[in-house]
Structure 1
Amino acid sequence: MKNLLCLCLLLAALCAVTHCHYEDICHEVNNTNLHDGRQNLLAHNCDKQGSNYADFVFRFYKQVISKEADKNVFFSPMSISTAFAMLAVGAKSTTLSQIFEGLGFDGLTETHIQDIHESFHKVLAVLNCTDVNITLNIGNALFTAIGYEPQETFLQNTKQFYDAEFLSSDFQNPEEAKKQINKYVEEKTKGKIPQLIGRLDPATVLVLINYIYFKAAWENPFDPLRTYEDDFFVNTTASVRVKMMQHDSDYDSYYDHDLSCEVVELPYQGTARALLILPDDGKMKQVEDALSKETVCKWDNKLATRRLNLHLPHISISGSYDVKNLFEEMGITDVFSSKADLSGISGSHDLWVSQAIHKALLKVDETGTEAAGATAIIVSRIHHPSDTIKFNKPFIILISDKKTSTTLFMGKVVNPTVK
């Protein structure tokens, strides 16, 4: 029987907060890292064809909603793809091509594979080197069974490209191993994800972990004194009471007449931004069917500054996904079966992935670092006419980093009160 390899993917928390401290020591990252002549294959690039990696975000989203059409969705494509790209360091033949093609990378020559790993390395380095306004920590870890030694090349490459931390674990004692890994994850996520792993098999020899923790303050914070209780319409027959935030300011926005939806960009301090998509009544499926790199590029090109009276609910939602089942339906199958070729890890064909877990948490509120200043702006401009956009029904959210042009998080808020 093949040994088990458990792949665990993790998104810890997304929060809009008042104070964001620089919590990790940033390795010196040269500003030319993403512009050294080689294309960043992870970038959501509207000007070039590039890879199809950007569309992995939307393909995974559509796979999730095919199972849970009327439920909250929240996940990190960056976390999921990083973990599987790290696994691909030890994959070969069809297993390798299925993983990378599933992530949107075609034409897998040896040079192209090297470029993919280099792109992840550069993007992770830049994301981990944020300024004082954002806390964005992404990390990887490999827990190996006591006495089990992966191939030296695999260890070297996961360290070189993914800066992986190596730890040993006694999988013969599954409960203790589970506690050890869950404690590690809990510490890395500031207590947000205390129970990532629910079970482990004694046959497990390796657990790969990716975590991502993000905290940022709104560039235009909401005034808590203007927050009020209101209805959020989960569907045409049901509603929930929410705390509805409200703010008058200039926002980049666009109304897409073809898809019948409002698109509003909410910038964070620093290089991150949230893109909120509010479909008209009955148009959610139409918008979801059209989600693609090209659609988002169109929205970005059409965004124009206008005065908005924006209403946005407090959000506290989470997502938990069996990535194994979702990926199998996306064509990534061999790695989860006896056909798996992970010989780059073990030196033989004796490994397969038994679990792939992803958990995510989203929290949004009014707070920001310049709330008083924003209130003053509101007062000084209150006489200007403004359009009201009220997010009081299901909407889609995309969080991206402008510096690397990568999508960090994606979700759909159906009920902002369901954790």
Structure 2
Amino acid sequence: MMKTTLPLCLLVAMFHLTVHSLTQTDHHNSKPKATDPQKQHLHEGDSLESCQRIIPSNTDFAFQFYRQATTQEPGKNIFFSPVSISTAFALLALGSRATSQAQVLEGLAFNVTNTQEEEIHNSFHHLLLLLNRPDSQVQLSMGNTLFIDKHLKPLKTFLKDMKKLYKGKVVSVNFQNSTEAKKEVNDHIKNQTHGNINEILKDLDPNTLVVIVSYIYFKAYWENPFNIKGTHKDYFRVNANTSVEVRMMTRDGFYKTYSDRKLSCKVVQIPYKGDVAALFILPNEGKMQQLEDALTKDTVSKWEKSLEKRRIEVHMPKISISGTYDLKKMLMSLGVTDVFSDRADLSGITGKPDVKVSKAAHKALLKIHENGTEAAAVTGTDFLPHSVPPVVKFNRPFLLLIVDQYTQSILFMGKIVNPTEK
């Protein structure tokens, strides 16, 4: 009965690849690099050490992408999965060569002069192993699928590396029959996201040769659910002139919190069962811009170090929002231009240099609910009678980071400007 009460996040990133204009001359002769077969069955400790090499870049990329999103849609909700976008583009880099490849890796905030490309792919491999770890209480599944036209013969080394390093699946499709191809891609994504994202592909260019899909599915329960009986009508101030009515959840309990005086914001960490926690950041009235400008990995790690457990009363709106992004536009403004143009060299995928990415899209979805049952007992016994905790009310725009604690990866990032906006 309580089907709707899961915090659920998922996202899909997609690339469409089509052929360049035919005037293209073959000026790419760089040899595809073979990656040496990874020694399988490494211990989790080794995996953790390996993926730590890419976490700082992934975090930097998360904030760069966030800034692009706010610039392009000021005053709007933002929600995306940085780790999934990074993984999708890293997979694209695996099939790219020359300048195309360098631009993609630099766009992902890697320093290509002092990081080996092979090391980056191996680190993503370990990151995916750890994020998809089966023993966690969190349902987190992340993967990549390559839909490739049946007339196109992908290189065996690419298929092997994609499978081994990126948990990649390859599906052969007849893109000439675009209705059928579109249905196949949409059905696959619907499947991987447990029916939550139904139709990511609205239209398909008949010249499409390759579609790359990256998805992440996240479902978890709060460690301490909100009591449904406490949820009530309240108002959320979207901006100086607009308030909207929301369903406000509330819970009095012990949370790790921090007040950042310099940035005029409050940080509250709300853990999920398993090794994932949500970091909610509430700036004081009029301080959102200042907070956004200061968003760096150092700021976030300072918050995490400064968190202290204390009793507060949290008021959090129920949320169901989604974000849809044109990754081509976003990444081009981060300097990744060649793979989208006739200069693209994706010969690592097909052995031929005449394929480019014509479309790249990303869709993410967030639902935050009480996820308790009405019978959830209110644990009021350990509180002193008549003591009133400080109240932290998320009733104006705030930021949200969902972090995998084990790898310190930002799984999802968002800004809630209007919790009711569909």
TM-score, structure 1 as length reference: 0.88
| Matched position secondary structure for 1:357 | strand
| Matched position secondary structure for 2:116 | helix
Deviation sequence 1:159-191 (CA, Å, 0-9, x none)? 110121111111001111111100110111111
* Aligned mates of 1:331, 1:93 — CA distance in 2: 15
Q: Give the alignment partner of residue 98 of structure 2, picking from 76, 89, 93.
A: 93
Match of 1:70 in 2: 75
Q: Does 1:291 align with 2:295?
A: yes
Q: Does 1:34 align with 2:47?
A: yes
Match of 1:125 in 2: 129
Return closer, same or farther for 1:78/1:183 CA change in 2, 3 Å cut-off: same
Match of 2:34 in 1: none
Match of 1:181 in 2: 185
Return closer, same or farther for 1:117/1:15 CA change in 2, 3 Å cut-off: farther
| Matched position secondary structure for 2:301 | helix
Bigger shift: residues 124-133 or 58-67: 124-133
Aligned partners of 1:14 and 1:215 also within 8 Å: no
Match of 1:306 in 2: 310
Match of 1:155 in 2: 159
Where in structure 1 are there 5+ consecutive unaligned residues? 1-12, 18-26, 44-50
Match of 2:175 in 1: 171
Return closer, same or farther for 1:382/1:329 CA change in 2, 3 Å cut-off: farther
* Aligned mates of 1:16, 1:262 — CA distance in 2: 22
Q: Does 1:413 align with 2:404?
A: no
Aligned partners of 1:229 and 1:244 also within 8 Å: yes
Q: Does 1:327 align with 2:331?
A: yes
* Aligned mates of 1:288, 1:235 — CA distance in 2: 16
Give the 5 Å matches for 1:55-66.
Answer: 55-66=60-71
Alignment RMSD: 2.0
Deviation at residue 319 of structure 1 after TM alignment: 0.5
| Matched position secondary structure for 1:386 | coil
| Matched position secondary structure for 2:111 | coil
Q: Does 1:276 align with 2:277?
A: no
Q: Does 1:249 align with 2:253?
A: yes
Match of 1:390 in 2: 393
Q: Does 1:102 align with 2:113?
A: no
Code of the residue aligned with 1:56 in structure 2: it is F
TM-score, structure 2 as length reference: 0.88
Code of the residue aligned with 2:269 in structure 1: it is E
Aligned partners of 1:16 and 1:368 also within 8 Å: no
Deviation at residue 117 of structure 1 after TM alignment: 0.7
Match of 1:399 in 2: 402
Aligned partners of 2:48 and 2:407 also within 8 Å: no
* Aligned mates of 1:76, 1:302 — CA distance in 2: 25
Q: How many residues align?
A: 387
* Aligned mates of 2:193, 2:174 — CA distance in 1: 23
Deviation at residue 39 of structure 1 after TM alignment: 5.8
Match of 2:227 in 1: 223
Deviation at residue 330 of structure 1 after TM alignment: 0.8
Give the 5 Å matches for 1:354-373.
Answer: 354-368=358-372, 372=376
Aligned partners of 2:100 and 2:344 also within 8 Å: yes
Deviation at residue 144 of structure 1 after TM alignment: 0.9
* Aligned mates of 1:370, 1:82 — CA distance in 2: 39
Deviation at residue 69 of structure 1 after TM alignment: 1.3
Deviation at residue 123 of structure 1 after TM alignment: 1.0
Aligned partners of 1:317 and 1:416 also within 8 Å: yes
Where in structure 2 are there 5+ consecutive unaligned residues? 9-39
Deviation at residue 296 of structure 1 after TM alignment: 0.3
Q: Does 1:82 align with 2:95?
A: no
Deviation sequence 1:298-349 (CA, Å, 0-9, x none)? 1111111111000000001110100100110111111110111111112121
Code of the residue aligned with 2:47 in structure 1: it is L
Deviation at residue 370 of structure 1 after TM alignment: 11
Deviation sequence 1:184-213 (CA, Å, 0-9, x none)? 101111111111112112221111111110
| Matched position secondary structure for 1:378 | coil
Deviation at residue 108 of structure 1 after TM alignment: 4.2
| Matched position secondary structure for 2:206 | coil
Aligned partners of 1:222 and 1:371 also within 8 Å: no
Aligned partners of 2:229 and 2:374 also within 8 Å: no
Identity of aligned residues (%): 46
